[in-house]
Amino acid sequence: MENKFIDLLRSLTPEEWDKKIDDNWTVKDVVAHMVGWEKEFVKQLPIIWKTKEKPWFAKSNKWDDEFNKKMVIKYKNLSPKQLINEWEKWLLKVQKEVNKIGERNMQANPNLFDWWFDEGHEEAHYNQIRMVLGR
């Protein structure tokens, strides 16, 4: 699986994984929350398709900090390599769920899946990490 974000992460030193992105998060923390979201997407995609209801995270903006903190804690004891492997595992599972629904079906239901086609979140974190590391 080719992914520029994961390729970047594979090139990081242990010190770079611990580099602060902001006052609260390290590079590793950012990656941990990304892994958590992939796992949540695997859970939510079939529910959304079955119920035809927006996911919980698209209904409110109060989930963000709480969910992200939980994911950082959940994955804090993984090594960088384990964290990358975990992310790749969930990315594959997400793709399987998308394939079951069909990307065309998702595009035909923007009221349910508009969040899916917004690539800004991953791109923003990728660029954030690159900037902090000077890459």
Average pLDDT over residues 103-116: 93
In the beta sheet, which residues pair with residue 26?
A: 20
Chain mean pLDDT for the chain: 92
DSSP classification of residue 3:
-
CB 28 within 8 A of CB 18: yes
| Confidence check: pLDDT of 110 > 80 | yes
Give the torsion through C-alpha atoms of 67, 76, 120, 20, to 10 deg.
120
> What is the reported pTM?
0.89
Structural domains in the chain? 4-133 (1.20.120)
pLDDT digits (tens, 9 = 90+) for 42-57: 999 999 999 999 998 8
Average pLDDT over residues 87-95: 96
How buried is residue 75: exposed, middle or buried, by Cβ count under 10 Å (0-12/13-18/19+)? Answer: buried
| pLDDT given at position 1 | 55
Q: What's the rounded Cα separation, in Å, for the pair 85 and 44?
A: 21
In the beta sheet, which residues pair with residue 72?
A: none
Q: Give the number of other Cβ atoms within 10 Å of residue 21's Cβ.
A: 17
How buried is residue 77: exposed, middle or buried, by Cβ count under 10 Å (0-12/13-18/19+)? Answer: exposed
